[in-house]
Amino acid sequence: MDFSNVIKQKTADELLEIHKAYNDYQKEFIIQVEHELKERNVDFVPIDYEELKRQEPEKKEQRKRERKAGAKTSLKAGVLWLIGGVLVSVISFILAPEGGKYIIATGAMGYGLVRFFDGLFNLF
């Protein structure tokens, strides 16, 4: 795919920002950005694609660890929201006069369930 028209419209600073934010899915685009930066005589450090490939397994493991840590936090938050919603509902029911109105905290319980299952899904 040819990105030359888009690239030529960018300033050198914008091209450098794009270059810094490189990821493997943008390799073709970044090669063209590097070519344009060279044509404009802009000082930059070219991306070492071989070094990135060597680092990829370590990065994948790190992302997996981060996702699991976030999943555990989400699980805990989900349980706390769910318990809080149930407690508010039960206490409200107990304190309501006979035949009176009480609160059912469906929002808190629903949010807790969503967070819990989100954490559970990301844990594995």
DSSP class per residue in 27-75: HHHHHHHHHHHHHTT---PPP-HHHHHHHHHHHHHHHHHHHHHHHHHHH
Q: What's the one-letter identity of residue 97? A: P
pTM above 0.75, yes or no: no
Rounded mean pLDDT, 8-29: 74
- Domain ranges for the chain: 4-39, 60-123
pLDDT tens digits, 31-83: 788 888 888 888 877 877 777 778 788 888 888 888 898 999 999 999 999 99
**What is residue 4's predicted lDDT score, i.e. its pLDDT?**
76
Q: Residue 123: how many CA atoms within 13 Å on its side-chain side? A: 12
